[in-house]
């Protein structure tokens, strides 16, 4: 397929320029002030799909952000791959930690720095460019459908309705997603599972107004202190989560499965050095790979209360809040865990305070089979492009769509991600290596080729 | 002294208008963006002192905000009262909870709502108006000096240097301060002690950047969770403070002293209702009056970390912070407690994180004698103005100057406050009752009269 490589080489700068244009839209789905940018991003994707040669391109309205659809049916008897991606991004905050502006993509050391560079604009756009490449060179070996949504970072709340209402339009044989990481270009890997998510916001309310901490301090419960105590109690001394029933549905892996998982290269010293920590943390009895792959977790994503400005204010705050999320593993259900958390957290509240727990969004964990035609096609494609077969790995993140697709469309997913764990997803200075972007564009046509061949 | 009352009555509106003008300056000392407003406030005070008849009025520069000085020496053989007050105010945040703008004084139900209405602009300005009243009617019965500072809310850091450098200028027989509360106009009281203060900021740092909570969650310590655990451990199950040595210097009151203290009227049901809490909280073995008066406390004044914007962000934050302050009781020393806290908090930090503790400011606790000439003069003044003798009470707040004055100038203080605990000091909707403002202006000349008489 050297003509594919030639075409990529010849269009390299344009492929980058188009991605940069896409990255300049601040399409933050969590914050309603970016709504008009989100809509412009959807239009841009639709336009690029059309130009690349997709038919029936639509910006489909939902109750939230629109979903961009497009397709190319070359032959109804051939297999169909449904490519999923998302054009929304995480909020860029804290802004002061970015070395260059989050929505002005900047190249340093062969890496594109921008919010969404990897998650998921960079990875999603590879598919549109790979589609163009195939159209302009070898032609498509199978049918391809695109469904690019704008609410992945806020729980894909309206995708559910869209999928249910468009079963026929979305009919396919497999889902292909590039929204995960591989170990490295030298050690390619394929994710075979994703964690689910329960995300909640909690508020602890004490007195009906902020109080003078001298006049009232000592006689009235401080909601920030109470919240700290409640959060502190959510992990025991072995860092197990203390919510009753939390682990009930977790399927323990066999010793063999765990051993296989721990074969993936993991250098603890490098990991610590990269993160700047002296010691790792985690649930007793599990390795770091297991802690991020096959074990459920509970994290405080944000906490706030009282005076957080410059200087000192001697206030006993009226309330304190936190955003808390849990990553779930196969067989745990987001709605069940959300409800267990809610019940437990409310039960922790002493009479001094009132507690409000508001679920944000959730997603189900998923496992992708390694014995499917599609997985084998991905394996072959990566082996050909990288010169090395990929290692199967469990991913720690969540893409709720994977479980949703299986349930609603009966389809399995292939997670062919080209990101790196060090891409600073959801963090300041998110980046995507230019080499990975082009390696992805090169690998995707191989996937479609082998998937069509192996499906015969 | 009916001519005094007549003069007040005749100038009522102007006395209010002038205070309103003073309240319109956003003289927030904690936030450097208000610096120019702070300076304008000092100038306004100086101008008003001059107009009221004070001599040698000066806006004295310091390393921070200036101190306004003025005096009227009628006869060097007569006693001298040094009036202390402050023109700086607490930050107005959270702004959304104010019913009317914090720096646009608004009258509702006979109360002036504005930041600083009570603490301390309203109470401090009573002294300037009482001075005018005496000048225009009976004349001064003793010498009066004014020292009005602009950094009380941030720890009076530069007052120390000023006092040491101006011992002669500040020479007096007693300090008079109105910056505390009384029980009510129907049950007047006089504070006989104040708590000291240690104020610190703590920062817990985990990984060197915000991380994706899915990719890293479970394997890396979350600084928000660790901070919560550290804060949670600062009180034991009886709400005693767990810092080693914290109570070592506390002098326990005798059973008789405690009984006397608990004679002050306190209606628990009304207190709870006013605060909107179902149950009170506090150190086991002490009443609410004791908890806020004679016991040291530890409060979280602010806490923050991670994503605190709208919606959901699945981030494992790089760091989390808190502002923590302790109120101290007689014989505890601010510097000692600050150092004990710092040592203990640092020792709590597990190896997963780094902890930084930054002391903000402190102040010493103080007890004022009830057998002094000045205290008796205050008692008589209040009895005459209110028709009832004041109850002696221990105040929970801190005015570091009280201990400083005793140490540097050898002077005792009389805390003749006219505020109410319900004045929302340091909170949204701070207020000061117009009735208390004028009652103060009426009582202060009586204090000077009786102090001069009793000093003979």
Name the closest residue on chain A to residue B315, using Cα atoms: A301
| Structural domain contains residue B382 | yes
CB contact (8 A) between residue B93 and residue A197: no
- Burial of A160 (C-beta count, 10 Å sphere; 0-12/13-18/19+): middle
Identify whether B269 is part of a domain: no
Q: Is B8 on the interface with A (CB under 8 A)?
A: no
For residues B99 and B28, membership in a common domain is answered with yes
pLDDT tens sequence across B203-239 = 999 999 999 998 899 999 999 999 999 999 999 999 9
Domain holding B188, by residue range, is: 2-194+366-455
Taking an 8 Å cut-off on Cβ atoms, the answer to whether A297 and B218 are in contact is yes
Mutation target to probe the A interface, by most A beta carbons within 10 A, among B284, B311, B359 is B311
Q: Is residue B256 among the annotated active site residues?
A: no
The whole-number pLDDT of residue B18 equals 98
pLDDT single digits (tens) B125-153: 999 999 999 999 999 999 999 999 999 99
Contact criterion met (CB < 8 Å) for A221 and B277 = yes
Beta-strand relationship, A189-194 and A391-394? parallel
Q: Does A1 touch chain B (CB under 8 A)?
A: no
Q: What is the DSSP code string of B252-292? A: PPPHHHHHHHTTS---HHHHHHHHT-SS----TT--HHHHH
B399 and B336 within one domain? no
Find chain A residues with C-beta within 8 A of B425's C-beta: 212, 215
Q: Tokens 């009510």 appear where? A: B184
What is the Cα–Cα distance from B17 to B179, expressed in whole angstroms?
Answer: 21
Q: Which residue has the tokens 């740092």?
A: B205
Q: Please check whether residue B317 touches A, CB under 8 A.
A: yes
Please judge whether B427 and A211 are an interchain contact, meaning their C-beta atoms are less than 8 angstroms apart: yes
Asked if B126 and B47 sit in the same domain, the reply is yes
Q: Residue A2's pLDDT band (boundaries 50, 70, 90)?
A: low
Q: How many CB atoms lie within 10 A of CB A43?
A: 13
d(CA B297, CA B195): 10
Establish, for the pair of chains A and B, how many residue pairs have beta carbons separated by less than 8 Å: 374
Q: Are residues A185 and A203 in the same domain?
A: no
User: Residue A395's pLDDT is what?
Assistant: 79
Task: CATH number of the domain at B434, please.
Answer: 3.40.630.10
With contact defined as beta carbons under 8 Å apart, do B138 and B126 qualify? no
Determine the distance in angstroms separating the CA of A297 from the nearest CA of chain B, rounded to an integer: 5
> Does A337 have pLDDT greater than 70?
yes
**Short-list A309, A310, A258, CA closest to A288:** A258
A178 and A206 belong to one structural domain: no
Local confidence band at A352 (pLDDT 50, 70, 90 cut-offs): very high
Q: Is A371 domain-assigned?
A: yes
Residue A157: inside a domain:
yes
Instruction: Give the model's pLDDT for residue B2.
Output: 64
- Beta strands B196-205 and B431-433 are unpaired
pLDDT of residue B117: 98
Q: What is the percent of chain A where pLDDT is above 70?
A: 100
Contacts of B222 in chain A (CB under 8 A): 281, 299-300
Residue carrying structure tokens 């004070």? B54
| Structure confidence at residue B336 (pLDDT) | 97
Instruction: Note whether B224 contacts A: Cβ–Cβ < 8 A.
Output: yes
Q: Which residues in chain B (67-106) have CB-CB distances under 8 A to chain A?
A: 90-91, 93-94, 97
* Cβ–Cβ below 8 Å for A396 and B317: no
Count of helices and strands (H, E) across chain A:
13, 18
B288 touches chain A (CB under 8 A): yes
**Cα distance between residue B85 and residue B71, in whole Å:** 14
Pairing of strands A189-194, A366-367: antiparallel
| Element (DSSP H or E) covering residue B446 | helix B434-455
Distances (CA, A) of B191 to A416, B179, B368: 72, 10, 8
Q: How far is B437 from chain A (nearest CA, A)?
A: 20
Q: Which residue has the higher pLDDT, A402 or B81?
A: B81
| Strand partners of residue A293 | none
Determine the distance in angstroms separating the CA of B312 from the nearest CA of chain A, rounded to an integer.
Answer: 6
More confident: B94 or B47: B47
What are B167-193's pLDDT values in tens digits?
999 999 999 999 999 989 999 999 988
Cβ contact B60:B391 at 8 Å = no
The verdict on B383 and B433 lying in the same domain is: yes
Tokens standing for residue A300? 């405080």
Rounded to a whole number of angstroms, the distance from the CA of A49 to the nearest CA of chain B is 29
Q: How far apart are CA B72 and CA B98, in angstroms?
A: 39
Enumerate residues 6+ apart whose C-beta is below 8 A from A353. A204, A205, A206, A221, A223, A226, B277
Residues B316 and B419 in one domain: no
Whether A285 is in a domain gets the answer: no
Q: Are B37 and B154 in a shared domain?
A: yes
Q: pLDDT tens digit string along A59-93?
A: 999 999 999 999 999 999 999 999 999 999 999 99
Q: Note whether A412 and A428 are same-domain residues.
A: yes
- By C-alpha distance, which of A76, A54, A113 is closest to A429? A113
Residue A288 near chain B (CB below 8 Å): yes
Contact A207, A318 (CB under 8 A): yes
The answer to the question of residue A99 being in a domain is yes
Q: pLDDT tens digit string along B104-115? A: 999 999 999 999
Q: Among B363, B391, B412, which residue terminates a domain? A: B363
- Domain boundary residue among A363, A383, A399? A363
Model confidence at A353, pLDDT cuts 50, 70, 90, reads: very high
Complex ipTM, two decimals?
0.82
Q: Cα dihedral angle (A29, A34, A37, A41), rounded to 10 degrees?
A: -10
Q: N- to C-terminal Cα distance for chain B?
A: 20
What residues contact residue A101 under an 8 Å CB cut-off, 6+ apart?
none
Q: How far is A263 from chain B (nearest CA, A)?
A: 17
Interface contact flag, A421 B231, Cβ < 8 Å:
no
Residue B103 backbone phi and psi in degrees, to 5: -110, 20
CA distances from A214 to A431, B278, B425 (A): 48, 21, 10
The answer to whether residue A96 is domain-embedded is yes
- How does residue A422 score in pLDDT terms, banded at 50, 70 and 90? confident
Contact assignment for B327 to A211 by CB distance below 8 Å: no
For residues B376-383, give the mean pLDDT. Answer: 97
Q: Which CATH number does the domain housing residue B305 bear? A: 3.30.70.360
| pLDDT tier at B410, thresholds 50, 70, 90 | very high
Report the gap between the CA of A429 and the closest CA in chain B (Å).
Answer: 9
**Final residue of a structural domain among B339, B363, B387:** B363
Query: Tokens 């979350």 label which residue?
Result: B222
Kindly state whether A359 is in contact with chain B, defined as any CB-CB distance less than 8 angstroms: no
Task: List Cα–Cα distances, A407 to A162, A163, A312, A337, A371, in angstroms.
Answer: 14, 10, 53, 19, 19
- Same domain membership, residue A218 and residue A71: no
- From the list B222, B297, B311, the residue facing A299 with the nearest CB is B222
Interface probe for A, chosen from B426, B428, B429 (most Cβ of A below 10 Å), is B426
> Residue B360: its chain A contacts at CB < 8 A?
311-312
Any bridge partners for residue A198, and if so which? A326, A362
Q: Please check whether residue A207 touches B, CB under 8 A.
A: yes
Give the whole-angstrom CA distance, residue A75 versus residue A57.
18
Q: Average pLDDT over chain A, rounded to whole?
A: 95
Spatial distance between the Cα atoms of A100 and B10, rounded to a whole number of angstroms: 64
User: CB-hemisphere CA count at 13 Å for B143?
Assistant: 19
Tokens of A408: 């609603």
The answer for B 178-197 residues in CB contact with A (under 8 A) is 181, 195, 197
Number of domains in chain B: 2
The pair of structure tokens assigned to B54 is 């004070």
Residue A456 distance to chain B (closest CA, Å): 37
Beta carbons of B233 and A232 less than 8 Å apart: yes
Cα separation, A54 vs A143, in Å, equals 11
pLDDT tens-digit readout, A103-138: 999 999 999 999 999 999 999 999 999 999 999 999
Is residue B220 domain-resident?
Answer: yes
Lowest mean pLDDT among A229-243, A396-410, B89-103: A396-410
At residue A434, the pLDDT reads: 98
* The predicted structure's pLDDT at residue A4: 92
**Six-digit token string for B413:** 């203080």
Please report residues of B whose CB lies closer than 8 A to that of A297. 213, 217-218
Minimum-distance CB partner of B207 among A275, A350, A421: A275
CA angle A162, A164, A167 (to 5 degrees): 100
- A161 touches B: beta carbon within 8 Å: no
**B104 & B89 share domain:** yes
Same domain, B305 and B432: no
């Amino acid at each position: 397929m050297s003509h594919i490589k030639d075409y990529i080489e010849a269009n390299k700068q344009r492929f980058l320029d188009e991605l940069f244009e896409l990255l300049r839209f601040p399409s933050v789905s969590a914050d309603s002030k970016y709504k008009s940018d989100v809509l412009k991003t959807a239009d841009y994707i639709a336009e690029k799909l059309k130009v690349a040669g997709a038919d029936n391109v639509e910006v489909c309205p939902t109750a939230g952000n629109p979903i961009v659809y497009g397709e190319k049916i070359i032959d109804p008897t051939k297999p169909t791959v449904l490519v999923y991606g998302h054009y929304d991004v995480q909020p860029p905050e804290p802004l002061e930690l970015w070395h260059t502006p989050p929505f002005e993509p900047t190249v340093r050391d062969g890496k594109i720095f921008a919010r969404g560079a990897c998650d998921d604009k960079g990875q999603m756009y590879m598919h549109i460019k790979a589609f163009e490449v195939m159209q302009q060179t070898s032609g498509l070996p199978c049918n391809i459908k695109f469904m690019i949504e704008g609410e992945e970072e806020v729980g894909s709340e309206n995708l559910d309705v869209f999928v249910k209402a468009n079963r026929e339009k979305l009919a396919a044989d497999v889902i292909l997603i590039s929204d995960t990481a591989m170990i490295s270009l030298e050690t390619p890997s394929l994710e075979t599972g994703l964690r689910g998510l329960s995300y909640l916001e909690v508020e602890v309310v004490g007195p009906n107004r902020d109080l003078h901490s001298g006049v009232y301090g000592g006689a009235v419960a401080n909601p920030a202190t109470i919240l700290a105590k409640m959060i502190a109690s959510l992990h025991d001394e072995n860092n197990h989560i203390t919510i009753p029933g939390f682990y009930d549905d977790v399927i323990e892996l066999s010793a063999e499965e765990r051993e296989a998982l721990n074969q993936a290269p993991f250098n603890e010293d490098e990991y610590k050095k990269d993160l700047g920590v002296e010691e790792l943390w985690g649930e007793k009895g599990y390795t770091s790979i297991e802690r991020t792959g096959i074990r459920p977790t509970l994290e405080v994503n944000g906490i706030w209360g009282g005076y957080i400005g410059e200087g000192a204010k001697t206030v006993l705050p009226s309330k304190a809040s936190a955003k808390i999320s849990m990553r779930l593993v196969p067989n745990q259900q987001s709605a069940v865990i959300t409800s267990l958390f809610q019940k437990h957290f409310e039960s922790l509240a002493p009479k001094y305070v009132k507690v409000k727990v508001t679920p944000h969004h959730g997603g189900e964990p998923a496992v992708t089979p390694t014995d499917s035609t599609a997985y084998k096609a991905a394996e072959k494609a990566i082996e050909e492009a990288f010169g090395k077969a990929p290692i199967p790995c469990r991913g720690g993140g969540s893409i709720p769509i994977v479980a949703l697709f299986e349930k609603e469309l009966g389809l399995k997913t292939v997670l062919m991600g080209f990101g790196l764990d060090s891409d600073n997803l959801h963090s300041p200075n998110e980046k995507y290596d230019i080499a990975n972007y082009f390696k992805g564009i090169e690998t995707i046509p191989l996937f479609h080729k082998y998937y069509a061949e192996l499906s015969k």
